[in-house]
Amino acid sequence: MKKLLLKENIIPENAVPSLFNAAPIVALASSIVVLLYLPIGSMMPILGGYGDLILVMYLLAVPALAMVAGGFASGSPYATVGAQREMVSMIAYELPLASIVIAVAWLLYSSGVADPFALSSIVAYPIWTLVGPLGMVGLIVLLLTFAWVSPAELSKIPFDTPEAETELAGGVLVEYSGKNLGLFTIAQGVKTLVMGGLAVAIFFPWNLSPLLGLTGYAALAVDAAFFFAKVILLMIISVTVIRTGLARFRITHVVTLFWVYLGIAGLFGLSLVILDSVLRGVF
């Protein structure tokens, strides 16, 4: 990484220089902004509001859109194909991701929690404590769906069709080098932390300090360490395990998986959460 940041940027002759150079900056900036909305352990997010979860969903799409813009601006046919695949992938995995967000917000709203789209509210009221047996099954389905969405958001195997080194020689990033490629790499690392942090905030928001009776800076330090441990464990399960067990999917398989199988799974989980609330007379 240090070597990349010290190297010179090479801009293709047919590229649009302004857009080509701006894309990695936008990708990194948007990833960092998302990170500022996430609670880390017992520390509340630096930024926050009433619709954090909706804003985070939009901001998560910005790095991918920046890669698409940079790919098209490079003038390379390989990058153009990669950018097209990136757009198709984005459209595909948004459906199951939206189902998860709607289910979580519905659950908090039906339980009378103020600001159901705020991440601080989600962390304060763990969703597992707000459901019955039927809703518990729905949340497990949504958790598994999120585990499959995460590697797609990060363009990791088996969802790395936009890059596909053996097919597209690097695809959407084929023309990037030096500082620009380094910025894209850092943005991808920050986004990995964001996806893990989002999973922790939604599904596993508990901290260790209450159990250990800690307060003050000791509690903040222990909870932050526990938070990063949970992020690492979740990323190992949802990214590393999947990528070591599967080969790269074709782009048509990616669309089918998210629009059909995971799309149905997300809607099924959402339906179970809603049905659980209705049967328990919560809503």
DSSP secondary structure code for residue 45 in this structure: P
DSSP sequence for 169-217: TTGGGTT--HHHHHHHHHHHHHHHHHHHHHHHHHH----SHHHHT--HH
**Which pLDDT does position 170 carry in this prediction?**
64
Q: What Cα–Cα distance (Å) separates residue 264 from each residue in 95, 99, 144, 153, 174?
A: 9, 10, 13, 19, 35
Token pair for residue 75? Answer: 């003038």
- pLDDT tens profile 242-277: 878 777 788 888 888 888 899 899 999 999 988 888
The per-residue pLDDT for 267 is 92
Tally of structural domains, the chain: 1
Cβ count within 10 A of residue 1? 10
| pLDDT at residue number 2 | 66
Q: Is the peptide bond before 17 cis (omega within 30 degrees of 0)?
A: no
Residues of the chain with pLDDT under 70: 1-9, 49-50, 164-171, 281-283
pTM value is 0.87
CA 230-238-266 angle, 5° bins: 105
Per-residue confidence (pLDDT) for residue 164, from 0 to 100 = 66
- pLDDT for residue 279: 79
Residue 78: the pLDDT is: 81
Q: What is the residue range of 171's domain?
A: 2-279
pLDDT of residue 282: 57
pLDDT tens digit string along 179-223?
Answer: 888 888 888 888 888 899 899 999 998 888 888 877 788 888 998
pLDDT for res 283: 54
Quote the tokens at residue 1: 């990484």
Amino acid at 267: L
- pLDDT at site 203: 92
Question: Cα-flanking dihedrals φ and ψ of residue 270, to 5°?
Answer: -60, -45
pLDDT at 259: 87
CB under 8 Å to 189, separation ≥6 — which residues? none
C-beta of residue 145 within 8 angstroms of C-beta of residue 154: no
Q: Are the beta carbons of 277 and 135 closer than 8 angstroms?
A: yes
In the chain, where does DSSP find H-type helix?
2-6, 17-35, 52-73, 77-110, 119-124, 133-153, 165-168, 178-203, 209-212, 216-235, 241-245, 251-256, 263-279
Residues in the chain: 283
Q: How far apart are CA 130 and CA 152, in angstroms?
A: 29
